[in-house]
Amino acid sequence: MTFTGIVRGVDRLGRIVLPKKMRLAMGLNELTDPIEIYISDGGIVLKKSEGDTSVAGDIRCLDKFGRIVIPIEIRNLFNIVPQIDSLEIYCEDNNIILKKYEPSCVFCGSSDTLISFKGKKICASCLNELKR
């Protein structure tokens, strides 16, 4: 897995902008290349369609701004709320993977009782440990 550290919000229409560098690396052209959208291993997978008739999910195209609409059924399945939730974006095996972003402590990975310090998330337990 190659995590790029990219987190993007979902707009009110359920769209997310795919980073330009990622679109170029995957060879995706806006408006013309069909993209398969399906679920695998707890994430949303975007894959350039090869013209197969045996598509596992929906087929969509990017708009002229590099956005793609995540189908409402998938948004509901992952409990993705437009204008509130964000998605992590990374590439894996010639696919773009989207997962709901869940902030966690930079030290231990916990998501319990997080506070922000200089743009980083720290849990209460690690904060107490740092105070000592």
Summarised one tens digit per residue, pLDDT across range 6-15 is 999 999 999 9
pTM reported for the whole predicted model: 0.76
In the structure encoding, which two tokens stand for residue 92, read together?
Answer: 């894996």
> CB atoms < 10 A from the CB of 77, how many?
11
Instruction: Note the pLDDT of residue 2.
Output: 45
Average pLDDT over residues 101-110: 88
Instruction: Tell me which of 55 and 118 has the higher pLDDT.
Output: 118
20-57 pLDDT, tens digit each: 999 988 889 888 899 999 998 879 999 988 776 566 67
The backbone torsions φ and ψ at residue 75, rounded to the nearest 5 degrees and listed phi first, read -60, -40
- Of the two residues 96 and 2, the one the predictor is more confident about is 96
Reported as a pLDDT band with limits 50, 70 and 90, residue 112 is confident
**What average pLDDT does the segment 94-107 reach?**
89
Q: How many residues does the chain have?
A: 132
Residue pair 102/111 in contact by the 8 Å Cβ criterion: yes
Q: Rounded to an integer, what distance in angstroms lies between the CA atom of residue 94 and that of residue 45?
A: 10
| List of domains in the chain | 2-100 (3.40.1550.20), 103-132 (no CATH)
Query: What local confidence, expressed as pLDDT, does residue 53 receive?
Result: 56
Name the phi and psi angles at 120, rounded to 5. Answer: -115, 150
